Amino acid sequence: MADLRMAGIGMTSARTRDRLVQRLREQGISNLAVLDRIRNTPRHIFVDEALGSRAYEDTALPIGFGQTISQPYIVARMTEALLEGGPLGTVLEVGTGCGYQTAVLAPLVERLVTIERIGALIDRAKERLKELEIRNVKFQHGDGTQGWKSQAPFEGILVAAAPLVVPQALLEQLTPGGRLIVPVGPEGEQELMRYTRREQGVMRESLGRVAFVPLLGGRS
């Protein structure tokens, strides 16, 4: 029964996932490892059962607590942008949410540490990653705007919610050459940015317009 749940049927089947991957290719996602993770990560187990039939649509879906599971294209785009430039050791994810982005990214890096401010969401994400037998992830219920100093420095940081300005703590916790992928700006005016830490300073690149929930401090 567990295997059937992971594999999916009907609108959650392998054929449906293949169609999603083809759409992502057409939208410009070219990293084969990322596409393979999208194909093989059962997105339907990260959403409520009532939304399972929509899990492989390329759209964000509600997961409760005013949060959403990001659309597959955005997950793929952010992951691809983070991985450009070579393999990564320790990576920080800010905003675990339901754990879908975590599950896509974790097998592609050596070690992933992830922070979520909403306790109920991180508990759910832990259960899902345990089901998927993904074991290189360390979780924390905390304030992601402060990064995770005791686990730093990070070769990569991925932020799954939008601050108005990039928290300085995140830039400071990057290794030389480290990359930060983060949506920045107010609602309706957000850009996906890649910051790369260099000896001479921080290089910034815009990766296009996006729409994310705001990045909040504290925890609940």
Q: Report which DSSP code applies to 155.
A: E
- Catalytic positions are 70
Nearest to 63 by CA among 117, 125, 10: 125
Nearest to 115 by CA among 95, 132, 87: 95
| 108, β-bridge pairs | none
Question: How far apart, in whole angstroms, are the C-alpha atoms of residue 51 and residue 49?
Answer: 5
Nearest to 62 by CA among 105, 143, 121: 121
CB proximity list for 59: less than 8 A, separation 6 or greater: 71
Does residue 145 sit in helix, strand or coil? helix
CA dihedral over 182, 185, 189, 195, signed as positive or negative: negative
